[in-house]
Amino acid sequence: MNEISRLGVLVVISSPSGTGKTTICKKLINSDKNLSLSISVTTRKKRDTEREGIDYFFKTKEDFMILKKEGQFIESALVFDNFYGTLKTQVINKLKKGIDVIIDIDWQGTRQINNFMKGNVVKIFLLPPSLKELSNRLSIRGSDSVKEIEFRMSKAVKEIEHFNEYDYVLINDNVEEVYSKINQILDVERLKLIHQNYLKNFVSKLTRK
Ligand code: 5GP
């Protein structure tokens, strides 16, 4: 641990499905070389636009349960009748190398990661500008059936009720603005002492008599 000059920042982003979280996460990753997106495992069916190992690792329920039994997840949860989980390998190794990691998960997973990391997590919640807008965005996406969209809308309100468990809550009415605010949050969080291991050496040199 001592030779690590910097411990990565772990950022969790949650929002109701369709709030634009995936777009924002991809934008952040593409513009920041030190930021890595954690790819989750899911038992959900792959959408036509999605790619294995890039959007998710798509698994059967049986394979998901094997990974869970093996203790490979930091967190896992049942979301919209499908299992989702965050692999330890997607997060821990990167943080130790000084890489900042962003995870797009629901409130249940956020609680588990918060416990696992003993609070060393930056928790960001994105709110839709309105429920009508959220419904429009889910319809435009066109990858889910009408039944699935109705189901996701009914779950959206429940997800929103957890907004006060987060450190930062942003309304996504403008992708560029939210993107810029998250970059500001990242800048500040990176300056925190816990992420600057090298300072211990620096200060000990400064104070050496
Ligand atoms: P979608 O099926 O639309 O990709 O995602 C549905 C919901 O599952 C989103 O709110 C997303 O944040 C959440 N989710 C995605 N991956 C994970 C994960 O690994 N763990 C948990 N707890 N939630 C996840």
Q: Is the pLDDT of residue 2 over 70?
A: no
Q: Is the pLDDT of residue 166 over 50?
A: yes
Distance 84 CA to ligand 1 centre (A): 6
Distance 204 CA to ligand 1 centre (A): 44
Q: Which residues in 132-156 are b (16+ Cβ under 10 Å) and which e?
A: eebbebbeeeeebeeeebeebbeeb
Residue 14 alpha carbon, nearest atom of ligand 1 = 12
Ligand 1, atom 5, residue with closest C-alpha: 17
pTM listed for this prediction:
0.91
Instruction: Please report the beta strands in the chain, taking only residues with DSSP state E, as ranges in sequence order.
Output: 10-14, 35-37, 41-42, 57-58, 73-79, 82-87, 100-104, 122-127, 168-171
Which of 13-22, 64-73, 129-138, 139-148 is the most confident on average? Answer: 64-73
Residue 112 alpha carbon, nearest atom of ligand 1 = 22
Q: How confident is the model at residue 185 (pLDDT cuts 50, 70, 90)?
A: very high
Distance 11 CA to ligand 1 centre (A): 15
Q: Is the pLDDT of residue 3 over 60?
A: no
